[in-house]
Chains A and B, each alone.
Chain A
Amino acid sequence: MSAGPTPASRTVAVALILLGVGATFTSMNIALDQYGRWGARIFPLAGSLSLVALGVAEWWGARGRPASPALNRAHLPAIAALLALAIAYVWVMAQFGYLISTAIAAPIALWIFGVRNVIGLCAAAVLCPAIYHLVFFELLGVFPPLGRWFDLLDVFGGY
């Protein structure tokens, strides 16, 4: 990490401007109230236009600078894998319930972080869903996310 301030970047500037312009158009589509006043639009519009202005300021700051150094991409595959796992985990939770989804997600998460011990991974597949289920859904009494297609809790007769 450098000690100095972060140099402005054109890529970030363009992203901010595009985001701000998109948000501005969306803000302008917010309906006016029954008296035709802009009340509900003001804050979204202020936030959107601020993004555009800040994007322009970032671009202005990047004038005459060489392109920013590229991000370290060495870990991007692992990060993409973890993001995919996170999205898939929620989707499987919706379809097959908490127990099955966690039994699948726990060993994969451990594997992504570098655990290669097969017994450990198998133990995680059993222990993680059991412990989380006991703590959150039995002790705290939270109603668990039930699977739309199939749920192990139906088999156990819990719900």
Chain B
Amino acid sequence: MEIFAALASVLGDPVLLGWVFLAAIVGMIVGAIPGLTASAAIAMLLPLTFYMEPLPALAFLYVIGKSGRYGGSIAAILFNTPGTAASAATQLDGYPLARQGKAGKAMKVATISSVIGDFTGEILLIVGVAWIATIALKLGPPELFAVYFAAFIVIGSVIGKSVTRGLASAALGVLVAMIGLDPISSTERFTFGSFDLTNGISLVPLMIGIFVLGEVFAQIEERGKTTEMVPDGDDAARNGLTWAEYRPCIPHVIRSSFIGSFIGMLPGLGSAIAAFVAYGEGKRRAKNPDDWGKGALEGVAAPEAANNAVSGPSMAPLLTLGIPGSTIGAILIGVFLIHGIQIGPTLFLTSRDLVFALFACGLIGIVMYGIIGYYGAAFVGRFITRIPTKVLYPVIFLTSFVAAYTSRGNLFDVYVMVAAGFLGWLMRKLDFNPAAFVISFVLAGGAEEAFRQALLLSDNGLMIFVTRPIALLFLLIGLAALAVRVRSLNRQARAVALEDA
């Protein structure tokens, strides 16, 4: 078992452990700050990792993603503001518990459930990913293009409140990725005579703009609002957690961990959907459904286990097919590329040790944020209330400029970052989908390559995608996902219209 060798190797490297520890703390703090997400932190810190070895760089950002998902629960419980979209479901029961003086108990439940969920997802990833990669190696260009097509449709249509705007975000991402020279014929596309544009749009400034500067623009609208913390309670009896109290949560945690892991494997769905599905399913099966929403510990355990279980499996499509399942995955592609590592099925042939060492860092990171969170979540909450947002966001604003410049030492990239930042804010404002935009931007190059290779292989043009059964299957999955989503949104719209009437 390679994972044990990798664990031994990572545990014997104190510098690497130091990076993992730092990532556990940074992720938790960033995740707990309302408005800031782990994606934003990773995008901003990405240029710093150019100067690191590949494994510490990847481990640092990967663990920030994990602990950031967990950190969101701190804000959800203590501030009644989800730190991340994924922790919005935790808020439903976490905040009522805090109002009852049981914030400490709720945070302990959130921590244990997050750790169990994250471990489940990570172990499923470790066990399954090499197997998926073996299958992925057998896929030809037509099948790969069909997988990309399904990913575009799912990412564009499933997240967000509008199918047309989600798909338009994905189409915009494809168009922006086309800027520059055609990789096969070197023909200029969308360059408008600009020399800077012939090099194309770089991923790093685009992501910093969308996720970091876009959030700074959004935070202007929140100026003057203060974050108030519910007292976390010093009463040991109310805030200690006993086995008898946690035992009813265990079935919910196990079920939610598998729900989160399954949803994590599907590109684009992400933690927020996993958390709400797990919460709904938990409430449906609960012995005390009437208590849910009023301060049930199970109502904290279920979404927390699910949203953290997403983390590991969301790496599966990234590592095996080069398709990022989440925004964090899209950003990690940047790290792999910067360090000259080709992701996709061949990754397990060329960099197998690195991948297993990364998984080992993930497991160690879970233990670290679990321990820090169990004993220190309330301290993190108090620390965040002391950070003045009117100073924090200008500092983030300035950091985004230097981070964008650092990626290639080019001021054009900084202009790209500014444009992407404004676009990111506008997209959020108009209910477009920035995550679909960025993921499609990342996918477009691979999809185009697979499409054109497939056409070269074909004697019947586009018919190759229909005559190959696996390719056809993925095309149908994409279309079915779109149809289901349109139907579900129409039903919701009718329900809202009836309520209004």
Residues of A within 8 A of B (CB): 2-8, 12, 16, 19, 23, 26-27, 30-31, 33-34, 39-40, 42-44, 46-48, 50-51, 54-55, 57-58, 61, 71-72, 74-75, 78-79, 82-83, 86-87, 89-90, 93-94, 98, 102, 105-106, 109-110, 112-115, 124, 128, 132, 136, 140-143, 145
Contacts and interface: CB of A to CB of B under 8 A. Distances in A.
Interface of B: 48, 51, 160-162, 164-165, 167-168, 171-172, 174-175, 178, 182, 184-185, 187-190, 213, 216-217, 220-221, 223-224, 389-391, 393-395, 397-399, 401-402, 405-406, 409, 411, 414-415, 418, 421-422, 425, 429-431, 444, 447-448, 451-452, 489, 492-493, 495-496
Contacts, number: 171
Contacts of A16: 164, 168
Given A50-B167, A82-B220, A128-B398, A6 B425 contact: no
B33 to A, nearest CB: 15
A114 B390 contact: yes
List 9 A-B pairs, minimum CB-CB distance, nearest first: A4-B496, A40-B182, A109-B394, A47-B174, A6-B431, A50-B171, A33-B185, A6-B161, A6-B162
Contacts of B189: 27, 30, 40, 44
Contacts of B448: 42-43
Contact of B495 (A4, A44, A136): A4
Contact of A106 (B51, B187, B394, B411): B394
B51 A26 contact: no
A141 B431 CA distance: 40
Contacts of B430: 12
Given A16-B168, A136-B402, 18 more contacts: A5-B492, A5-B493, A6-B165, A19-B172, A39-B185, A42-B451, A44-B190, A50-B171, A50-B174, A54-B165, A86-B422, A105-B401, A124-B394, A132-B399, A140-B51, A141-B51, A145-B405, A145-B411
A74 B493 CA distance: 28
A105 B398 contact: yes
Contacts of A83: 217, 418, 422
Contact of B220 (A51, A55, A113, A140): A113
Contact of A40 (B168, B171, B184, B492): B184
Contacts of A39: 182, 184-185, 452
A12 B414 contact: no
A142 B282 CA distance: 51
A47 B447 CA distance: 12
Contacts of A30: 182, 187-189
Contacts of B213: 86
B220 A40 contact: no
A66 B208 CA distance: 37
A124 B393 CA distance: 13
